[in-house]
């Protein structure tokens, strides 16, 4: 099976709060301790209205999945409860998979999260996909009742509990290091059997790769340089067979920033400030918040402390277009770039950030529409496309 056989495109939204005070530059982090006095609920309401319209449009344009995720104490994302965002999307969409990528399971009771996800899966008639993040370091400062030093062990146990709750007829019991369940018996059960498709979310750390390999799950890399994403998938290809699983292209999720316009120059002109906003403002935080005590091993800390902090606050456009999955330009150029990445990583799942930073609505609509109508058809052979469910608009577009 190659990456071309089942190529799918997901549209992801962070739903950031973009009305920042003019002196935002004086804050070294817009996470954790950036005061919520800067949040205006009226403006937040208007942003939610707009952002949900954008995600509904993605469904109408035939994207295969709509991706939401979760962050806390930050303007970066207005989805501290991403299952609520998923629930809001279900009745207003018809085809796209609802991808919750996802709740850091260490912050909630695992039976409760098993219930929430099962609800979403039944409510959507089996459209749910799930990814399990450990949660960024920042989340552990914001949810400081959870100790980062035991987060990885608690994460593993919590996922085990959820899988048991979904795969064994209840009631069962569970006896663990962190949790004991007397009657594990979640109602409802998931719509999809044995349970919805699951991925691990991560930066490519040895711990998260091992976790995905053991279960044979896909890996949804967060936005890190291409080389790091490719290395992660290579490592999964090596390790998965040891656990009796096969690493297939649909388990390699490539995370991309895309922007399409009439010319390369126009595309770059229209998008560059928003990408810069994303990296220098929305993602800005401190090394202290990135690495709470006990969150990473000393070996990982040594590597990270020794490396420059490019992702959270830095910005170099040339470096970014070369080493990161940023595709900006005409449909031809963007399609060519994505095809190259999918080929290189043997990946058939592409997560697209169509909204980026403080991008206005019209650009999101333009970007998402041209991408659906001009980029995807270039990448997906006609015959294969027709077999796919849930892409009515694309088929219509192809016919006109």
Partner 1 sequence: MPTAAARQAKRVPRGFERRELNVNGADVVLFVGGSGEPLVFLHGAGTASGFHFSASWAGKYTVYLPYHPGFGESPDSAAIATIDDYVLHYLELFDRLRLDSVRLVGLSIGGWIAATLATQNSHRLKKLALVGPAGLRVPDHPTLDIFRLKPEEVPAHLVHDLGVLAPYAPDPRGPDFLEFLVNDYHEMSSYGKLAWTRPYDPDLAKWLHRISVPTLLLYGDKDRVTPAQQAETWAGLIPNATVRIVKDAGHLVLDEKPEAPQAVLEFLS
Q: Which positions touch partner 1 (CB under 8 A)?
A: 144-145, 147-150, 286, 288, 291-294, 298, 301-302, 305-306
Among residues 109 and 305, whose Cβ is nearest to partner 1?
A: 305
Among residues 298 and 383, whose Cβ is nearest to partner 1?
A: 298
Instruction: State the minimum distance, in angstroms, from the CB of residue 49 to partner 1.
Output: 36
SS3 string of the chain? CCCCCCCEEEEECCCCCCCCCCCHHHCCCCECCCCHHHCCHHHHHHHHHHHHHHHHHHHHCCCCEEEECCCCCECCCCCCCHHHHHHHHHHHCCCCEEEECCCCHHHCCHHHHHHHHHHHHHHCCCCEEEEECCCCHHHHHHCCCCCHHHHHHHHHHHHHHHHHHHHCCCCEEEECCCCEEEEECCCCCCCCCCCCEEEEEECCCHHHHHHHHHHCCEEEECCCCHHHHHHHHHHHHHHHHHHCCCCCHHHEEEEEEEEECCCHHHHHHHHHHHHHHHHHHHCCCCHHHHCCCCCCCHHHHHHHHHCCCCCCCCCCHHHHHHHCCEEEECHHHHHHHHHHHHHHHCCCEEEEECCCCCCCHHHHHHHHHHHHHHHHHHHCCHHHHHHCCCCHHHHHHHHC
Among residues 313 and 390, whose Cβ is nearest to partner 1?
A: 313
CA dihedral 260→262→268→269, nearest 10 degrees, is -130
Instruction: State the minimum distance, in angstroms, from the CB of residue 149 to partner 1.
Output: 5
Instruction: State the minimum distance, in angstroms, from the CB of residue 331 to partner 1.
Output: 46
Among residues 24 and 144, whose Cβ is nearest to partner 1?
A: 144
- Mark residue 70 as left, alpha or beta (left: phi above 0; alpha: psi -120 to 50; beta: remaining): beta
Among residues 137 and 331, whose Cβ is nearest to partner 1?
A: 137
Among residues 304 and 395, whose Cβ is nearest to partner 1?
A: 304
Instruction: State the minimum distance, in angstroms, from the CB of residue 308 to partner 1.
Output: 13
Q: Are strands 252-260 and 326-329 parallel, antiparallel or unpaired?
A: parallel
Instruction: State the minimum distance, in angstroms, from the CB of residue 214 to partner 1.
Output: 21
Instruction: State the minimum distance, in angstroms, from the CB of residue 35 to partner 1.
Output: 15
Among residues 21 and 294, whose Cβ is nearest to partner 1?
A: 294
209, 282, 326, 338, 355 from 15: Cα distances, Å? 28, 11, 19, 24, 9
Among residues 164 and 285, whose Cβ is nearest to partner 1?
A: 285
Among residues 291 and 346, whose Cβ is nearest to partner 1?
A: 291
Instruction: State the minimum distance, in angstroms, from the CB of residue 156 to partner 1.
Output: 16
Instruction: State the minimum distance, in angstroms, from the CB of residue 147 to partner 1.
Output: 5
Instruction: State the minimum distance, in angstroms, from the CB of residue 293 to partner 1.
Output: 4
Instruction: State the minimum distance, in angstroms, from the CB of residue 352 to partner 1.
Output: 36
Among residues 299 and 318, whose Cβ is nearest to partner 1?
A: 299
Count of beta carbons in the 10 Å neighbourhood of residue 390: 17
Q: Do residues 9 and 394 touch, judged by C-beta distance below 8 A?
A: no
């Amino acid at each position: 099976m190659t990456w071309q056989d089942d190529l799918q495109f997901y549209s992801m939204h962070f739903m950031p709060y973009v009305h920042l005070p003019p002196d935002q530059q004086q804050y070294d982090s817009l996470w954790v301790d950036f005061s919520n006095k800067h949040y205006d609920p009226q403006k937040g309401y208007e942003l939610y209205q707009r952002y949900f319209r954008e995600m509904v449009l993605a469904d109408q344009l035939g994207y295969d999945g709509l991706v939401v995720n979760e962050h806390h104490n930050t303007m970066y994302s207005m989805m501290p409860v991403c299952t609520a965002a998923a629930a809001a999307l279900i009745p207003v969409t018809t085809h796209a998979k609802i991808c919750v990528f996802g709740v850091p399971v260490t912050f909630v009771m695992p039976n409760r999260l098993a219930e929430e996800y099962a609800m979403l899966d039944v409510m959507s008639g089996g459209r749910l996909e799930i990814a399990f993040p450990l949660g960024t370091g920042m989340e552990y400062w914001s949810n400081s009742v959870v100790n980062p030093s035991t987060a990885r062990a608690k994460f593993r146990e919590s996922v085990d509990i959820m899988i048991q709750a979904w795969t064994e007829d209840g009631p069962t019991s569970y006896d663990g290091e962190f949790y004991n369940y007397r009657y594990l018996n979640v109602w409802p059960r998931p719509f999809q059997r044995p349970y919805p498709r699951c991925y691990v979310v991560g930066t490519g750390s040895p711990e998260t790769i091992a976790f995905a390999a053991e279960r044979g799950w896909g890996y949804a890399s967060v936005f890190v340089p291409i080389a790091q994403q490719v290395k992660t998938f290579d490592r999964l290809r090596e390790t998965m067979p040891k656990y009796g699983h096969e690493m297939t292209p649909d388990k390699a999720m490539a995370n991309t920033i895309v922007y399409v316009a009439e010319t390369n120059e126009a595309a770059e002109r229209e998008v560059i400030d928003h990408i810069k906003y994303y990296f220098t403002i929305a993602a800005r935080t401190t090394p202290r918040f990135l690495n709470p005590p006990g969150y990473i091993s000393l070996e990982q800390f040594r590597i990270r402390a020794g490396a420059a902090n490019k992702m959270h606050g830095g910005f170099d456009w040339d470096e970014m277009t070369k080493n990161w999955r940023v595709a900006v330009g005409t449909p031809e150029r963007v399609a060519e770039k994505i095809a190259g990445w999918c080929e290189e990583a043997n990946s058939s799942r592409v997560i697209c950030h169509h909204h980026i930073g403080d991008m206005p609505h019209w650009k999101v609509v333009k970007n998402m529409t041209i991408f659906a109508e001009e980029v995807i058809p270039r990448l997906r052979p006609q015959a294969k496309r027709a077999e796919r469910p849930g892409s009515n608009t694309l088929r219509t577009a192809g016919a006109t």
